[in-house]
Structure 1
């Protein structure tokens, strides 16, 4: 392991619900840092275990270097004040550039881990994926969470490869978002590697993965009804099966509504309608969510979740 990394097991720090924060934009298109700070505190107040800065939901690919630094500074400050875990998204399909980006994360001592995607577009072999993360683990000052999302990367990573990755010193877990609870998911959770956190990254499968033993989740849908997502994870963990099933059904409907159009458009629409961010804006090539999708997500958030209905025309705080 990189000598900069402490020897304590990291998997325990990754348990629970981690919210990959959106990047709010002001009316002039700039990053609304005050709204981001408020949102970060809100989701922690409502039961989130930790935060993720610069995930896909943050539209990190559309932020310039100064904006990425500003976003990370804000979220790191909140995590420091709240003693909450911080995961920072980093990396690309270039191993050298990713290693350099990871070394740069030393600027934020609050960070708990780095969320690093399986190399996308180039579609390396699974052996190449292992070699990629082997090199990164040696270079990184932070433990790594492998972001396994074949719908975006074009690279399927099977259970045997996931187990090889889990054996690497400095790899603490996986954000598992394969679009299903497939045979590999079941096999991985049936016999999870030691000191390796399997985190759900597919929001509408969260209840099923928690039931199988996932340690937690990195869930964009948990911007909305955050406390209920935390309750869901806790109910499965403590064996409150009936409660977990009921919550899981309700939250699955919510997640499906929030992802009815490309993420994070609907989530931002709902957050804006709730007065939590100043605009629902996203950056091209994404487009703002339709009013119909936002209204449907409001309905899903209200039905059965004890949420007060919010008008889609509500203003910001």
Structure 2
């Protein structure tokens, strides 16, 4: 299986009573697919899974899986433990699990490889490794990423290394697994290097333009792709002016697409000035 294209790591909308707004989540999932997204991600970090109860998580998965089934769209589900991965055997729509590099403990590259080898062996679906060192505290070199690619049942990596460096370039030369960009501001140069697509929170907004960016780079139309990438980068920067997904949710609420801009602690709602800046950049895209 080769993952490619644009995946939207869906936010979890909340109603005025603070409960998960499943109807709004379902509408949002349909909207982004209508606008050109390839697939959906449920319970990624953008979905605030750490603040959801187990019943809420199950409801989110069921809702997004239903949309994926109706639209024949691939679904990736955030799952970081052996138990969460095992539960995906009951989600036939799930084509992969998004599994973060173990945060905080900094086990070293050998520990990371052993960890994913064990998870992948028992997982009922392929694993997409979520490499985001500025959150996990564990940097992975190109050699470690190639080691992950060699593990059976590891389908690819969501790469959010914080920019482009020599390890990024070396990793992109390995054809064995998919690279999906996860640093929204840097998605255009990563696609230029050969990334297969992206898992992009910013693409809740301007979904069609992000999908077009991926299509243009993959078609080899560097001139148009470069220009579009330059136009999209300020939007991504604005949407990440505060901890994700606070500004994304505030912008979606301003558009009338979700009932409230609310997030759950420890996140705080976005400042109105940052929301206004994001909406300004969105309007400039046309």
Q: Count residues in correspondence.
A: 286
1:80 to 69, 73, 85: 69
Q: Once the two structures are superposed, what CA deviation does each residue of 1:2-26 show, in whole Å capped at 9, x if it has no partner?
A: xxxxxxxx12xx1000000000000
1:297 aligns with 2:278: yes
1:122 matched residue in structure 2:
105
The more displaced of 237-246 and 55-64 is 237-246
Find the residue that maps to 1:172 and give its secondary structure.
Answer: strand
1:100 to 78, 83, 86: 83
1:256: how far off? 0.2
1:22 matched residue in structure 2:
11
1:31 aligns with 2:31: no
1:280 aligns with 2:261: yes
Q: 2: distance between equivalents of 1:90 and 1:264?
A: 19
Q: 2: distance between equivalents of 1:178 and 1:254?
A: 19
1:49 to 35, 38, 42: 38
1:6 matched residue in structure 2:
none
Q: 2: distance between equivalents of 1:105 and 1:237?
A: 31
1:193: how far off? 3.0
2:201 matched residue in structure 1:
220
Find the residue that maps to 2:234 and give its secondary structure.
Answer: helix
1:107: how far off? 1.6
1:104: how far off? 0.9
Q: Once the two structures are superposed, what CA deviation does each residue of 1:228-277 show, in whole Å capped at 9, x if it has no partner?
A: 00000011111111110111001101100100111101000000000000
2:145 matched residue in structure 1:
162
Find the residue that maps to 1:52 and give its secondary structure.
Answer: strand
Find the residue that maps to 2:94 and give its secondary structure.
Answer: coil
2:186 matched residue in structure 1:
205
Conserved 8 A contact 1:200-1:209: yes
Conserved 8 A contact 1:166-1:193: no
Conserved 8 A contact 1:48-1:226: yes
1:271 to 252, 255, 259: 252
Conserved 8 A contact 1:103-1:140: yes
1:192 aligns with 2:174: yes
Conserved 8 A contact 1:176-1:198: yes
Find the residue that maps to 2:231 and give its secondary structure.
Answer: helix
Unaligned runs of 5+ in 1: 1-9, 92-97, 307-317
1:283: how far off? 0.2
2:56 to 67, 89, 108: 67
Question: What is the TM-score when the length of structure 1 is the normalising length?
Answer: 0.89
1:261 matched residue in structure 2:
242
Q: 2: distance between equivalents of 1:271 and 1:17?
A: 19
Question: What is the TM-score when the length of structure 2 is the normalising length?
Answer: 0.99
1:188: how far off? 1.0
Could you list the structure 1 runs, at least 4 aligned residues long, displaced by more than 6 angstroms after superposition: none
Q: 1: distance between equivalents of 2:16 and 2:89?
A: 32
1:140 aligns with 2:129: no
1:183 aligns with 2:172: no
Find the residue that maps to 1:112 and give its secondary structure.
Answer: strand
